[in-house]
Chains A and B, each alone.
Chain A
């Protein structure tokens, strides 16, 4: 069975042809033999029957007048039939009367077997046939004659037939071989060619190859032709598609560039006038306090704070824009040191009761400027959203999860509803009101853009009033000590 499955189509065809012709021949041989055997035996019995009848007829008077000699003379006529081994006449009471035997060895072999009232019957012994025939005179049973004949003829015929069949079988095998090699040219070779072409297409993605179309106009030619047409279609389709993709990509990057350029210009160009407005407001506030009403001075205060908020928004937008475009320069960065500096600055600006935990010497391979922006955003958020706590707790660290190292910033502040976690990283999406925690909603969008450009992932988990945890990964970076990390370009 294994052999069968391992074989090529040609091999299988050959086996099939041989099997079918072999079976057919065997069946034919058996049925011919059976028929021959049957008819030969039948003929033999028929002729024995005739001979027995004649002998019976001729030995009637011998039996009636007890003349064994005449009976034996009658029997000896059987000498002319070489297949008859022995013949014997029995009296009505079953005692032997006259015997003929070709050889002495056959003398003892006949035992009368006819039943009372039976006219004639035959028995097949191994390699011989015994025929018994009742002898009657005027309808009265007066004795019986038995003839024993060998079936050598039949055996000979069987052997001859077998030899002939074997010869025919050999011939069939030869024809089968011939047929399969013809089949090779007709079916197998085109098929192999087709399979080869399909292989090239699927392996090398080369849609320009074509299978050879056989000259005959048969199903196979049609199949190969259809296959080639299909390749034509695919090739054409791919070309069109590739062109379209290229066009779209070009369009898209052009649009992107325009947008970047626009937002950068807007942000950058807004900065100058805004700074002027802020400066003027400040001057007005400090220089002209006397002549002003308290309302005017309050309004001036609002103006100053609004302009400062606007300036920080512009800073954020510029950061976001730079995060998407600035070229990356990968170096080994000590994230722990950066985090420490950021938190120290935050503590300087606003004295709060706070507890910080910063893991030692957590390094990463990243662009130093951009990764600093990431940590600044995450730690500022943690600082901001934990400001309502009596004892705020902020932690930076790294843990190994499977193959990856995950850096995290964790706090015990206001937290957020995990159901809305998807929104956090989109620009201007905020989960807290301006009144509770002021902000623009650009920070996490910037973070995500930077991490994505590094080829890492960022995600968050949180629960309301229980704090939040922000995690990110960086490829090629490991939590371990500096020596473990490798620098790559």
Chain B
């Protein structure tokens, strides 16, 4: 029964993802929530004490949460990397050190830099939709191209954190060299 519910949820989300052309803010963040979860499928953390100590696969939302319950619905009863997925919300990046994925909302504004500093060198995949996130050392940045939610990757930052992103994921990234293509709306 939960399986069916899950499939239905995913199908619904994909449908939503495809319907981004009729963009409103809500569906955009629903798509982003799905992407956050999907990143988990393509990310591998090099074994280290910090990684080995994780009991759950935590997807953390730092600062203001624009995603709402979409992510919670999506990840309920799911597992990633063999661990149960948990969604956590926190005020500062410092609390997110044990997370697998940390989403820093654009509302953080200038805080983004300090947030990134707090997580630098840790096996935490940082994701944000704030502009220049990659230039500041972030790993994945959401961009909007032609009404579609896409993402760009800063592979150097990823590698220096001992994180391995699957080539399948990189294949669909807008760029992997830390630059965001011109003419994109964050």
Contact = CB atoms under 8 A, between A and B. Distances in A.
Which of B6, B20, B31, B168 is packed against the most chain A CB atoms within 10 Å? B168
Q: Is the contact region of chain B dominated by helix, strand, or loop, or is it mixed?
A: helix
Contacts of A58: 168
A400 B150 CA distance: 132
Interface string A77-96: 00000000000000111010
Interface stretch (A137-145, A199-207, A286-294): A137-145
A123 B34 CA distance: 34
Interface string B133-173: 00000000000000011110000000000000010110110
Q: How large is the interface on B (under 10, 10 to 19, 20 to 34, 35 or more residues)?
A: 20 to 34
A72 to B, nearest CB: 12
A140 B168 contact: no
Nearest to B35: A65
Nearest to B38: A64
Interface string A441-484: 00000000000000000000000000000000000000000000
B42 interface: yes
B14 A91 contact: yes
B168 A60 contact: yes
A101 interface: no
B70 to A, nearest CB: 15
B18 interface: yes
A64 to B, nearest CB: 5
A135 to B, nearest CB: 11
A65 B172 contact: yes
Nearest to A63: B14
A93 B17 CA distance: 12
B127 to A, nearest CB: 13
B41 interface: yes
B152 to A, nearest CB: 12
Contact of B17 (A66, A138, A141): A66
Contacts of B17: 66
Nearest to B166: A61
A67 interface: yes
Nearest to B170: A61
Nearest to B13: A92
B76 interface: no
A70 interface: yes
Contacts of B18: 66, 91, 93, 95, 97
B14 A93 contact: yes
A95 B7 CA distance: 17
A65 B149 CA distance: 8
B11 interface: yes
A247 B166 CA distance: 127
B155 to A, nearest CB: 16
A211 interface: no
Among B7, B11, B169, B172, max chain A CB count under 10 A is at B172
Contacts of B42: 61
Contact of A93 (B11, B34, B41): B11
A155 to B, nearest CB: 38
Contacts of B20: 66
Nearest to A70: B172
A318 interface: no
Contact of A92 (B11, B150, B168): B11
Contact of B7 (A61, A67, A140): A140
Nearest to B78: A138
A61 B167 CA distance: 10
A67 B169 contact: no
A69 to B, nearest CB: 9
Contacts of A61: 42, 166, 168-169, 171-172
B31 to A, nearest CB: 7
B15 interface: yes
A44 interface: no
A62 B172 CA distance: 6
Given A70-B172, A137-B41, A138-B41, A65 B14 contact: no
Given A92-B11, A140-B7, A141-B7, A64 B41 contact: yes
A70 B171 contact: yes
A97 B41 CA distance: 21
Interface in B28-48: 31, 34-35, 38, 41-42
B31 A66 contact: yes
Contact of B10 (A60, A62, A67, A92): A92
A70 B35 CA distance: 16
Interface string A416-438: 00000000000000000000000
A166 to B, nearest CB: 53
A395 B172 CA distance: 142
Given A137-B41, A140-B7, A67 B172 contact: yes
30 contacts: A58-B168, A61-B42, A61-B168, A62-B171, A62-B172, A63-B14, A64-B34, A64-B35, A64-B38, A64-B41, A65-B35, A65-B38, A65-B150, A65-B151, A65-B172, A66-B14, A66-B17, A66-B148, A66-B149, A67-B150, A67-B172, A70-B171, A91-B15, A92-B10, A92-B15, A138-B41, A140-B7, A140-B10, A141-B7, A142-B10
Interface of A: 58, 60-67, 70, 91-93, 95, 97, 137-138, 140-143
Given A61-B42, A91-B15, A140-B6, 19 more contacts: A58-B168, A61-B169, A62-B171, A64-B34, A65-B150, A65-B151, A65-B169, A66-B18, A66-B20, A67-B172, A92-B14, A92-B15, A93-B14, A137-B41, A140-B10, A141-B11, A142-B10, A142-B14, A143-B14
